[in-house]
């Protein structure tokens, strides 16, 4: 009697499981492989699987699973990254252009900050690490939105002092007026995520905060040591005529 009861429970479990994978118009077939979820082997396997399904199955089909999801993300990464980047650039460029009443300044600032994002990707690859798709999108959006403020602050000081001073003196005053704010706030952006990356065990979260720290540090260094030279080199485009360009 006890064995019959157990067999009855097993039968009910099988019936319930069968009902979950077999429907009136659709059924599910589970495929288990030893391939990794990502990589060349996974891409080759999916290519072969799609070919077999197209030639064997009589009806239409859909593939689901982690391997398929990663492949779809890989195929759409370039397009989605371009859309996110263009939208971010357009939003920042519009705001900065309205603030400075200039087109060249937003382009300069965006290129400087975006270079920090690319340096972050380079450092990640240089260390032999990987950068998750979602992490990259999040890091790029946050860094461009956060560190652009430092570039705006420095540029604003420079333009203000160019009304009455020459290029060298204006750069000196821009450093004097903005260095404290940039370094204080910048160290928070760099140190806080950096410490979190060492303490958090979750791979995705750790990668996001680690990239924020590296990218933030790169952007701040570019703002402090590259942006001044760019502003000086493009002074006649950065400073309006009414601000004493003849200096």
Q: What is the pLDDT along the chain (247 residues), one digit of tens a residue?
A: 788 888 888 888 888 777 778 877 888 888 889 988 887 898 899 999 999 999 998 888 899 998 998 888 778 878 888 888 888 888 888 988 888 888 889 999 999 988 988 888 788 777 666 667 777 777 788 888 888 889 999 999 999 999 899 999 999 999 999 999 999 999 999 999 999 988 988 877 888 888 889 889 999 999 999 999 999 999 988 886 434 444 4
Burial of 81 (0-12, 13-18, 19+ CB in 10 A): middle
Check residue 10 and give its pLDDT. Answer: 87
The pLDDT value recorded for residue 161 is 94
């Amino acid at each position: 009697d006890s064995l019959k009861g157990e067999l009855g429970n097993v039968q009910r479990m099988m019936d319930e499981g069968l009902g979950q994978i077999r429907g009136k118009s659709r059924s599910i077939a589970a495929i288990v492989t030893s391939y990794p979820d990502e990589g060349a082997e996974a891409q080759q396997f999916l290519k072969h699987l799609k070919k077999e399904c197209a030639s064997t199955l009589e009806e239409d089909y859909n593939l689901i699973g982690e391997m398929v999801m990663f492949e779809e993300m890989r195929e759409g990464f370039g397009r989605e990254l371009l859309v996110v980047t263009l939208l971010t650039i357009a939003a920042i460029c519009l705001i900065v252009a309205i603030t400075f009443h200039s087109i060249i300044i937003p382009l300069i600032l965006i290129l400087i900050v975006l270079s920090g994002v690319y340096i972050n990707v380079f450092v990640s690859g240089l260390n032999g690490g990987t950068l998750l798709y979602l992490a990259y999108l999040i890091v790029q959006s946050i860094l461009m939105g956060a560190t652009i403020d430092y570039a705006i602050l420095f540029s604003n000081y420079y333009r203000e002092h160019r009304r009455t001073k020459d290029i060298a003196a204006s750069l000196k005053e821009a450093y004097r007026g903005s260095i404290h704010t940039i370094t204080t706030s910048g160290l928070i952006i760099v140190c806080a995520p950096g410490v979190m990356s060492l303490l958090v065990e979750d791979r995705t979260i750790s990668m996001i905060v680690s990239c924020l720290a590296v990218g933030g540090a790169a952007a701040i260094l570019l703002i402090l040591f590259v942006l001044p030279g760019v502003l000086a080199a493009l002074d006649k485009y950065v400073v309006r005529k009414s601000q004493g360009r003849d200096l």
